[in-house]
Structure 1
Amino acid sequence: MNEPLAERLRPKTLNDYVSQSHLVGKQGSLTQHIKQGLIPSMIFWGPPGTGKTTLANIIATESGRPFYTLSAINSGVKDIRDVIDKAKQSGGLFTTKNPILFIDEIHRFSKSQQDSLLQAVEKGWITLIGATTENPSFEVISALLSRCQVYILNAFDKEDLETLLKRAIEQDEFISKKTIKLKETSALIKLSGGDARKLLNIFELIVNSYDYDKITITDTSVLERVQSNTVHYDKTGEQHYDIISAFIKSIRGSDPNAAVYWLARMVEGGEDVKFIARRLLILASEDIGNANPTALVIANNTFQAVSTIGYPESRIILSQCATYLACSPKSNAAYKAIGMAQQLVKETGNLSVPLEIRNAPTKLMKELGYGDNYKYAHNYDLNFANQEFLPDEIKNTKLYDPGNNAREEAHRTFLKQRWKDKYGY
């Protein structure tokens, strides 16, 4: 029994596939593509254990297409070209069922490796399916991304995970031979973090820890056995998201000691330096913002620096940035402002731009009053003119509320001096 439970239970058809109903349900977009026999190149984006590889296999099987697979961890440009040559010989332009090339962890491909895929995708020699746990907007080159549909796979919910546990008990050739009672599942669900593969790995570990065949599983028994079999940091899954969460929350909580500890855990695990630096860059704006604008500059410089030099020296730069951000005053005012603004847009729709602040590049637009009565701020005292910039339906709406820190208190004073009581500053 060398094959893991997650592999033994890997579904072979869409009917057996659990979760992602928005993609593979009766009206799901991928279901429709398969029915029509028109499979576009696509990127599956989602956390580990959400069925990206499985779904690619099922698409190839149910659409009757040749299937090639590469891992971005150990494949180079030569490997890509070899597969493309084979794909051209077995399909390509001469059949509607061109081969599928599945690339796991496509975000780990360099620009040159991704470039080598462009012609094959564009010419239709292959249908590319890439899988990534990272935002493809950051990690996939724009030329390739523009040729692919992006589909988001979500972490499994409680009902999906419980379905998998029942399936394991009833259908697995080894586990089904035991008498297993799932008295409690909360600990299993919590430990899985929505990762189906992790859930089944933990479940198998627990079942195998008993030397008898009648087993009752409780939350207590799960925690006891899992704690005695601690999983080391795995940058491709497992504790990946827990550790980065602890790292970010330590910085947000202004604890540089905890921040460098969690950073060290990632460094020792060989985590991608750009992944860490990108999270610092986001945090610098989301959690510090205008309380200390220099934080964003330092985080951006950190990202550029570690992208250039890599390990081992980059650990020093990351440590400097993490401790600086942890010791910085905090504000989420800018983060909250854009969130409120987006919600307002959803609620009010496409409100008209006030005529006086519209652009008037043509004679007709000028005749229609575009730009009339616009007050050029620099022509007034303090470079400020009291004028309405929001649509009439939402005028006087305050979206940016400066935080309680020295820099943003200065913002509040500035705005109150200019706008008086208009926005309630």
Structure 2
Amino acid sequence: MSAPHTPSHTADLLGAAGAVEALRPLAERMRPRTLAQMVGQRRLLAEGSALRRAIEAGHVHSMILWGPPGCGKTTLALLLAQHAQAEFVAISAVLSGLPQVREVLAAAQARFDAGQRTLLFVDEVHRFNKVQQDAFLPHIERGTIVFVGATTENPSFELNSALLSRCRVHVLEAVSAEDIAIALRHALGDDTQGLGGRGLVITDAALADIASAADGDVRRALTLLEIAADIAQGEHGQITEASLHQVLADRSRRFDKGGEQFYDQISALHKTVRSSNPDAAVYWLARMLDGGCDPAYLARRLTRMAVEDIGLADPRALQMAIDAWETFDRLGAPEGELALAQLTIYLASTAKSNAAYKAWNAARKDVREYGTQEVPLHIRNAPTKLMKSLDYGKGYQYDHDVAGGVALEQTGFPDAMGERVYYQPVPRGLEIKLKEKLDTLRAARTQARSGQQAGKKGQA
């Protein structure tokens, strides 16, 4: 039989609990306990919004929470369980395998049989493979669990359709610096869970710097504040500019080298080059390099832009792209990054044309549709007497010997196809001149062939 708790023994237990609480990170201690305490997500959780009303009524459905780190996915899941009066169970797709998933689901089934709901929170759910994701399906359908998956990746690409069809996807946004500053002030003023009892002194400007450095991540902001507060303990509680500089040094921006942000940012770079916006284009280049994107990948994509979007409107662009690529290979970072920046600015500023790109795609389409067409006899190679006896090369006109340097009546296409026009130069850059020349030549060819056909009809 255990000894009864004496007042001193109870005090010891409370003191131990307080000590354990103090060991928890500030970000964990300051986790919101009500919807009203959450910062950010004003669109999703606004007063009167559909999700807010459902949560407050305890009508919680299975869902996928998609958003960047530190935007409140875990906190929202905890509050969902609280309002639904459900047992909160959390697993991580990074740390758990199928055996652990089955154990959790079996325990949830036992609770369900006893009349208790389970809210199963799966962090990094996109890390689970298809088989692991499928394990949740029957339990979601039967209502054994309220499934809440959290992901930083696009669910359309990372989650199977069966799971998506059973869950509502809610998009959470990065928290603004203004909202993060609210959370920081709350932590500074909270005497119980926060830093309120430590006599810290920090300016509004310094607080704004921390909020900005957090890059939309509330958890990160609170961690930075906690580090700054620890340093300030030796400086009479003053969070100085010098100490803050130490804390915020070498901070990185959000970037996923193989995920949604990567593809969004390379799309932004390409499209701002295409839109002739050098200022926006060089910004996205800087963002990607800052995030750790492989410069060789960027050099390759910029070279593609020179071919696809500038084309023959400015043929110099392709050589500049190759030169910039080679310059980076020789210099490396950071000096070589300037070559990529110069290239980006030039590509965005110069004349644009996708005429060659469209012509190439049209030609490839005809190759697929028409199959293996015979080369017309007059433009076949005829290096032997046998080939010549079979009329290879017969009737070919050597263009340099023709007046004007072009044999206008001579076709270059298989007979079954007839003449085709793939390349349509745009009235920009060098293609202005190319268009003038080709328009004249094409009109002359059409006229010459019309005369040729009329002569054949007359002979017939």
In 2, are the aligned partners of 1:8 and 1:172 still within 8 Å (CA)?
A: no
Whole-Å separation in 1 of the counterparts to 2:428 and 2:121: 47
Q: Counterpart of 2:134?
A: 115
In 1, are the aligned partners of 2:70 and 2:219 still within 8 Å (CA)?
A: yes
- How far the C-alpha of 1:138 sits from its partner, in A, is 1.0
Query: Counterparts of 1:24-423 in structure 2 under 5 Å?
Result: 24-91=45-112, 98-173=117-192, 175-183=195-203, 184=205, 185-212=207-234, 214-217=236-239, 219-227=241-249, 240-241=254-255, 262=292, 288=304, 291-292=307-308, 382=420
Q: Deviations over 1:23-44 (max 9, x none)?
A: 2221223212123432221111
Amino acid at match of 1:71: S
Distance 1:188 1:30, change over 3 A: same
Distance 1:39 1:260, change over 3 A: closer
**Matched length:** 299
TM-score, normalised by the number of residues in structure 1: 0.58
TM-score, normalised by the number of residues in structure 2: 0.54
Bigger CA drift: 35-44 or 50-59?
35-44
Whole-Å separation in 2 of the counterparts to 1:68 and 1:261: 34
Structure 2 runs not aligned, ≥5 long: 1-21, 271-280, 310-339, 354-415, 440-460
Q: Deviations over 1:248-270 (max 9, x none)?
A: 77998799xx96993589xxxxx
Whole-Å separation in 2 of the counterparts to 1:106 and 1:172: 36
Amino acid at match of 2:201: K
- The structure 1 segments of at least 4 consecutive aligned residues displaced by more than 4 Å after TM superposition are 242-255, 258-261, 283-290, 329-333, 378-381, 401-404
SS of the equivalent of 2:65 reads: strand
Distance 1:25 1:261, change over 3 A: closer
- How far the C-alpha of 1:70 sits from its partner, in A, is 0.6
Distance 1:58 1:380, change over 3 A: farther
Q: Deviations over 1:147-172 (max 9, x none)?
A: 11111111111221111111111115
- How far the C-alpha of 1:14 sits from its partner, in A, is 1.2
Distance 1:34 1:221, change over 3 A: same
Distance 1:285 1:131, change over 3 A: farther
Whole-Å separation in 1 of the counterparts to 2:241 and 2:216: 17
Q: Deviations over 1:47-100 (max 9, x none)?
A: 1111100110011011101221110111111111111111122127x86x7321
Amino acid at match of 1:84: L
Q: Deviations over 1:264-290 (max 9, x none)?
A: 89xxxxxxxxxxxxxx79x98899468
- How far the C-alpha of 1:186 sits from its partner, in A, is 3.1
Pair member with larger Rg: 2
Q: Counterpart of 1:307?
A: none
SS of the equivalent of 2:56 reads: helix
Distance 1:332 1:146, change over 3 A: farther
In 1, are the aligned partners of 2:63 and 2:147 still within 8 Å (CA)?
A: yes
Whole-Å separation in 1 of the counterparts to 2:173 and 2:189: 25
Distance 1:41 1:403, change over 3 A: farther
- How far the C-alpha of 1:239 sits from its partner, in A, is 5.3
Amino acid at match of 1:133: T
Whole-Å separation in 1 of the counterparts to 2:128 and 2:262: 27
Q: CA RMSD in A?
A: 4.8
Q: Deviations over 1:295-335 (max 9, x none)?
A: xxxxxxxxxxxxxxxxxxxxxxxxxxxxxxx89x97789xx
Q: Counterpart of 2:395?
A: none
- How far the C-alpha of 1:110 sits from its partner, in A, is 1.2
Whole-Å separation in 2 of the counterparts to 1:202 and 1:49: 13
Q: Counterpart of 2:19?
A: none
Structure 1 runs not aligned, ≥5 long: 232-237, 266-279, 294-325, 338-377, 385-400, 418-425
Whole-Å separation in 2 of the counterparts to 1:286 and 1:130: 37
